[in-house]
Chain A
Amino acid sequence: MSFDFVEPVVFAVLAFGVIGAGAAVVLLDRITASALLMALTFLCMAGMFVLLGAETIAAFQVLIYVGAITVLILFGVQFTKQGGDRSYALFFQKQYPLAAALVAAVAIPVALFAFSFTAPAPPPGGGDIRPLATSVFTDYAFAFEVASVLLLAAMVGAIVLTTRDERAEAARRRK
């Protein structure tokens, strides 16, 4: 039995996720929903990287984009909250049994599948991490160092920009 049809189908689902969620980020008025749909876009993009055989990049994508950047943006949304954004999940907040049943309906099959899953033997050569690491730490070592300095500068800059000067603010308020 051939599995040639699996890859186009998975690609179609992921492409639909990327384009649909990306369009929703732009079109939706509720900014928290935009941020969460941006995370969905990034997750579908990670799936595309796996489909392309770039597993390491997909792992970085999940760690940095879905993990760090989405959380950062959500904090930014919370700190700059404007009035008029409706609160969420009002329906499910009052329907605990229904919410629990829905979560269980998804979680139990996923858990059963995860425990019965047997992975095929990994390909020899260790996937794409070896060529990637070789390039980063030989030809692009200087760029790598510059990137780390850039991250440090961005971190210091973000702290400096957002630290409030308590005494100056109190003085301004007293005026």
Chain B
Amino acid sequence: MTVPLGAYIAVSAGLFFIGCAGVLVRRNAVVILMCVELMLNAANLALVAFSRRFGAVDQRGSVFVIFVFVIAAAEVAVGLAIVLSAYRNRPVIDVDEIHQMKG
């Protein structure tokens, strides 16, 4: 591996903070879901990079990536279903406007 581990971790951290900023700044619910996916993917890169460098034979770290894939797929399916059913009640997608469930 001629590319140092730190470079992969830097890309991973950069993408994570981009996703984090997107979740905090954007108000479109679908864009927020996309940014959560970016954050999950950044974590995947860190997991694979550390697993390649330190997991000698069995690559345990990569196994967790598969579980992250499963969680991400379930999350985006349920998240989009919630967004769609909220949109059907009132046709807004702005998360600041969706407050009818506020106590």
Contact = CB atoms under 8 A, between A and B. Distances in A.
A143 B60 CA distance: 13
Given A48-B8, A143-B67, A38 B38 contact: yes
A161 B85 CA distance: 7
A76 B30 contact: yes
A8 B3 contact: yes
Given A76-B84, A151-B73, A7 B15 contact: no
What DSSP secondary structure best describes chain A's contact surface? helix
B23 to A, nearest CB: 9
A147 B69 CA distance: 10
B2 A45 contact: no
A137 B40 CA distance: 23
A65 B77 contact: no
Contacts of A65: 37, 41, 69, 72
Give the interface residue-count category, chain A: 35 or more
A135 B63 contact: yes
Interface residues of B, number: 58
Nearest to A148: B70
Contacts of A23: 18
Contacts, number: 174
A135 B88 CA distance: 43
B3 A51 contact: yes
Interface string B7-37: 1100100110011011001101111011101
B31 A34 contact: yes
A56 B66 CA distance: 10
Contact of A60 (B21, B45, B66, B80): B66
Interface in A15-68: 15, 18-19, 22-23, 25-26, 31, 34-35, 38, 41-42, 45, 48-49, 51-54, 56-57, 60-61, 64-65, 68
A174 interface: no
A69 B81 contact: no
Given A61-B41, A73-B37, 5 more contacts: A25-B18, A25-B35, A34-B31, A61-B44, A147-B70
Interface of B: 1-3, 7-8, 11, 14-15, 18-19, 21-22, 25-26, 28-31, 33-35, 37-38, 41, 44-45, 48-49, 51-52, 57-60, 62-63, 65-67, 69-78, 80-85, 87-88, 93
26 contacts: A8-B3, A18-B14, A22-B19, A26-B22, A26-B25, A31-B30, A31-B31, A38-B34, A41-B38, A41-B41, A45-B41, A48-B8, A48-B11, A56-B62, A57-B48, A60-B69, A69-B37, A73-B33, A80-B87, A132-B62, A136-B66, A154-B74, A157-B77, A158-B80, A159-B81, A161-B81
